[in-house]
C-alpha cells in the first residue's frame, strides 16, 4: 500500500473513515459531493453547543458576546483563507447555491435589461446555471454559453478556450449587447478541469464584464486568492472543505457590495424599521437576515484552520498525485470512457468516466458492495452531459485522506461489474 505523508497524518483525524461497508474498509471517493469531517470540526460544533450557545449580536450577556465573537472570528478566518483583505466582504449563506442565488436576486436581477446578456460555460453545475436562467427569463435577457473545447482524447479537450472568450466578448461589444456578468467555475465538478481564472477575469474586466467564480470544487483543492484574481464575486460551501453542512460563503468586492440590494428581509439586516419602510444595515449584515448559523461558522473556522495547517499547496500536490495515478490506470482499459483532459495538466481531484455498456448506477452499486463510494448520475450538470451525448457518468473525486490503494481497489472492483453485466 502506497501512502503519502499527508494521508498518513490525515486519516486518523476522520472518525467516519474507520467504518466498514459490506465488510470492507470504506474507500470514500465522493469528495466532490461532500467531504468527511475531521475531529476538530466535530469538536468545534459540540464545544459551541456545550459552552457558548446563544444568539449573536443581540444580547449583552457573556454567552451572547462569546457567540458573536466566535461568529465574527469565523468571518476573519474565512477572509484570510481566500485572500480577502477585509472580513466585511464575507457574507455567510447556506452554501454555494444560496450564495449564487443571492447575487442573482440582489445584484443581477435589479440591473439586468432586456438587451443585456449573461455568459456562462457549458461545464457549469446547475447551481451556477439555473439561477442565471431564472433572472434572464424574468428580464427577457439572453443566456449565452461559452463552449468547452471538443473531446479529442488529447489534453486540449474539455477545457475553456481563452481565444473563444475573447471572441464572445468582442462580438458582444460589436452587437451592443453587453454581458452583465460572466459566471464560471474555477474547477469543473465533473471534468476536474482547472480553469485559468486569473486570465479569464483579466479578459472579462478588460471589456467591463464582472465575474462570479463558483469555487465549490476549487476551494478544498488549491489556494484561492480573491484579491489577486480581482474577482467580483466568489462562492463556496463549507461542507466541501471538511466543514459542516448548511454554511456557505459569498465574497463580494466593495463596488459590487455597494450595488447589491438586500436579499431577504428580517432581523439583523436592518438599521431602522418604520411602519412602512426600513433602512438597511451595512454589508455584510445587510445580506444576513435572521439568526445566522453560528455553530456552523465555528465548525467552518475549524475546517479552515485544519486545512491551513496542512497548507493548500501540499493538498493540491497530493490530489495531483492521486489524479495522475487514476488517469494512468485509465489508459490500461479500453472499455473505460474518460471525460475531460486525459492528463493531469490543469486538472485536479475529479475524474468522471463510464464503463462501456454498463449503466453508471449499476457500476456504482457494484462498487458499493466493495465498500467504494462513488457518485453516479449527471452530477447536476445536464448541459455538460448532453454535450457529451450521455445521460450519466460515474465520478470518483479525491480528498486529502485518500490513498493510491483506494483508487486501485476501484479499478479491481470494476472487474466485478464487468463480470455481472457484461459476461
Partner 1 sequence: MTTPTIYRDLLLEHARHPKNSGRLESPDLQASAFNPLCGDELELTLSLSAGTIQDCKTQVRGCSICQASASMMSEMILAKTLQDAGEISQIFAESLRKNTDEIPESLDSLRPLIALKTHRSRIKCMKLAWDALEDCARQNET
Give 181's strand partners.
118
Residues 107-146 contacting partner 1, CB under 8 A: none
Q: Pick from 53, 152, 365, 405: which binds partner 1 (CB under 8 A)?
A: 365
Please give the Cα distance from 258 to 255 (Å, whole number). 5
What are the distances in angstroms from CA 332 to CA 98, 306, 412?
Answer: 41, 36, 12
Residue 389: Cβ-neighbour burial (10 angstroms; 0-12, 13-18, 19+): exposed
Sole binder of partner 1 in the list 376, 384, 394, 396 (CB under 8 A): 376
Q: Cα(225)–Cα(81) distance, rounded to whole angstroms?
A: 8
Per-residue x/- track, 304-343, partner 1 (CB under 8 A):
----------------------------------------
270-273 and 248-252 strand pairing: unpaired
Point out which span in 52-60, 140-148, 316-324, 359-367 binds partner 1 (CB under 8 A).
Answer: 359-367
Candidates 336, 359, 408, 418: give the one binding partner 1 (CB under 8 A): 359
Query: Which of residues 18, 22, 58, 164 is near partner 1 by CB under 8 A?
Result: 22
Which residue in 97, 135, 94, 86 sits closest to 283, CA to CA? Answer: 86
* Segment 377 to 406, residues that bind partner 1, using CB under 8 A: 377-378, 382, 385, 391-392
Q: Does 413 bind partner 1 (CB under 8 A)?
A: no
Say whether residue 421 binds partner 1 (CB under 8 A).
yes
Closest by CA position to 68, among listed 53, 81, 78, 80? 53
Query: What minimum distance in Å lies between the beta carbon of 20 and partner 1?
Result: 15
Q: State yes or no: is 231 an active-site residue.
A: no
Choice between 34 and 324, CB closer to partner 1 = 34
Q: Residue 140: is the preceding peptide bond cis (ω within 30°)?
A: no
| Residues noted as catalytic | 380
Residues that bind partner 1 (CB under 8 A): 22, 359-362, 365-366, 369, 376-378, 382, 385, 391-392, 420-421
Amino acid at each position: 500500500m502506497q501512502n503519502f505523508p499527508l494521508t498518513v497524518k490525515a486519516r486518523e483525524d476522520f472518525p467516519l473513515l474507520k467504518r466498514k461497508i459490506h465488510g470492507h474498509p470504506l474507500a470514500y471517493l465522493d469528495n466532490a459531493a461532500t467531504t468527511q469531517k475531521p475531529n476538530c470540526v466535530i469538536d468545534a460544533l459540540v464545544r459551541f453547543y456545550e459552552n457558548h450557545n446563544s444568539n449573536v449580536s443581540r444580547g449583552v450577556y457573556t454567552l451572547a458576546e462569546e457567540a458573536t465573537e466566535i461568529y465574527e472570528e469565523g468571518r476573519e478566518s474565512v477572509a484570510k483563507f481566500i485572500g480577502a483583505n477585509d472580513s466585511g466582504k464575507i457574507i455567510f449563506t447556506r452554501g454555494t447555491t444560496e450564495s449564487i442565488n443571492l447575487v442573482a436576486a440582489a445584484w443581477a436581477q435589479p440591473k439586468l435589461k432586456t438587451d443585456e446578456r449573461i455568459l456562462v460555460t457549458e461545464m457549469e453545475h446547475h447551481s451556477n446555471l439555473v439561477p442565471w436562467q431564472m433572472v434572464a427569463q424574468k428580464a427577457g435577457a439572453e443566456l449565452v454559453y461559452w463552449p468547452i473545447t471538443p473531446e479529442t482524447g488529447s489534453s486540449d479537450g474539455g477545457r475553456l478556450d481563452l481565444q473563444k472568450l475573447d471572441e464572445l466578448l468582442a462580438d458582444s461589444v460589436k452587437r451592443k449587447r453587453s454581458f452583465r456578468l460572466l459566471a464560471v467555475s474555477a474547477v469543473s465538478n465533473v471534468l476536474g478541469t482547472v480553469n485559468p481564472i486569473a486570465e479569464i477575469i483579466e479578459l472579462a474586466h478588460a471589456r467591463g464584464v464582472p465575474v462570479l467564480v463558483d469555487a465549490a470544487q476549487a476551494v478544498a483543492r488549491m489556494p484561492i486568492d480573491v484579491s489577486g484574481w480581482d474577482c467580483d464575486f466568489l462562492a463556496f460551501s463549507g461542507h466541501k472543505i471538511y466543514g459542516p453542512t448548511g454554511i456557505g460563503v459569498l465574497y463580494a468586492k466593495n463596488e459590487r457590495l455597494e450595488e447589491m440590494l438586500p436579499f431577504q428581509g428580517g432581523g439583523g439586516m436592518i438599521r431602522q424599521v418604520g411602519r412602512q419602510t426600513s433602512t438597511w444595515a451595512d454589508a455584510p449584515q445587510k445580506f444576513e437576515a435572521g439568526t445566522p448559523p453560528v455553530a456552523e461558522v465555528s465548525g467552518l473556522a475549524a475546517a479552515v484552520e485544519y486545512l491551513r495547517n496542512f497548507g493548500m499547496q501540499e493538498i493540491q500536490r497530493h490530489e495531483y498525485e492521486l489524479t495522475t495515478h487514476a488517469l494512468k490506470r485509465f489508459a490500461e482499459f479500453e472499455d473505460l470512457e474518460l471525460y475531460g483532459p486525459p492528463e493531469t495538466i490543469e486538472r485536479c481531484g475529479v475524474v468522471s468516466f463510464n464503463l462501456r455498456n454498463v449503466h453508471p448506477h449499476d457500476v456504482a452499486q457494484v462498487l458499493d458492495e466493495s465498500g467504494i463510494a462513488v457518485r453516479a448520475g449527471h452530477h447536476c450538470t445536464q448541459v455538460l452531459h448532453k454535450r457529451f451525448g450521455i445521460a450519466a457518468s460515474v465520478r470518483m473525486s479525491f480528498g486529502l485522506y485518500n490513498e493510491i490503494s483506494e483508487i486501485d481497489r476501484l479499478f479491481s472492483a470494476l472487474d466485478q461489474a464487468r463480470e455481472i453485466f457484461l459476461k
